[in-house]
Structure 1
């Protein structure tokens, strides 16, 4: 289960990559814009503001996220992005911080490029921080004797996503004009355990269904000193949290 409130705890910082991504989509007056992995809809709503005449189509695999998006007035539906196919009038496909959850998403992106009409846009952003200290700490703790049994299938691994060159190559080969890049954002976080709270809303989510409530709290407690060592709090009380992200914007040829 996704928790929209936990995800939105850092809404401004999580939202910035979306706007950086969409700034490179030069669609003029699209008829249909699709957000695959719309989450709670706070960012999807900005697509309707940018293109008020477009039909906004929103998908997410989480019923909780879809309910939150519908509360914002969006026509959101529960669905697996692997099952989505573009309607003939689809002009822009956006997938922000979603495809890293999808096995073999590279083939999915190539399929979209082949199914979309010439001139359509594909805009994708994925985290590129699976080898960051935060994720290494989670993996190491999950593999420890205490947690190896309940968390033996913890999904995050190194190499879960391509780099910018990898994604660019896939879509160039599919006949697209491509703009791909990487950015490392350095977030200024505050609070007692801010990195833990950040990853609780995303990277730690798969653990929740694998652990009891008591185990969940114990696992999080054991993470605190590991994250504190990797991301020490500054004398001014802030914690600097670098976060690498990978972007690709493609126009179908």
Structure 2
């Protein structure tokens, strides 16, 4: 393994992914910021990292497109020499009751959240350097089972199902695979469409009596991707302040 560790963070331009990218960079990790559409936001993340003395590049691409994901890894290898940590923070969420969910929205969520995560995990399994780490994302709503989240949690439950299987398939390479499942976290994705009363209600659910912050989640991801967290493997980490 090279002296500089290298991470790919998909969904790295906003929210939790952005916090993960900047946190890893602050720990000396070179970061490839994967993003889907917001070039301006991705550029801001890279500028923030480089201004602080870190190393980062931004690469656009659809995580459900295996060619685009291959190009993401190609860029990481070209710029920094290899890949040690892969964090798939990209995701899509549409809320609706089962009765009213538009099936086009269901297909779009599953394309990003299941196929996309699988494509990223597959490329990571093929190309990650020995001793590395893969961190996927689920949601604590898989356990909380809030109404209107059925389509979204169905897509995230698939990620939980594959986590330990992939960890076992990578036996012999000293690579860990874990899934972080945040609870209610103050991101644009979570806050969009919710009124103040709903947000306040959710914030009071955990014993710690607040919403999570992106940095709370990023700290856990950074631990799982580090040598200090390497004995944690094949696990679903409910990162939610004790809500469930």
Task: Verify same fold: TM over 0.5.
Answer: no
Task: Please identify which structure carries the higher helix content.
Answer: 2
| Higher strand proportion | 1
TM-score relative to the length of structure 2: 0.45
TM-score scaled by length of structure 1: 0.43
RCO greater where, 1 or 2, for CA within 8 Å and sep 6 or more? 1
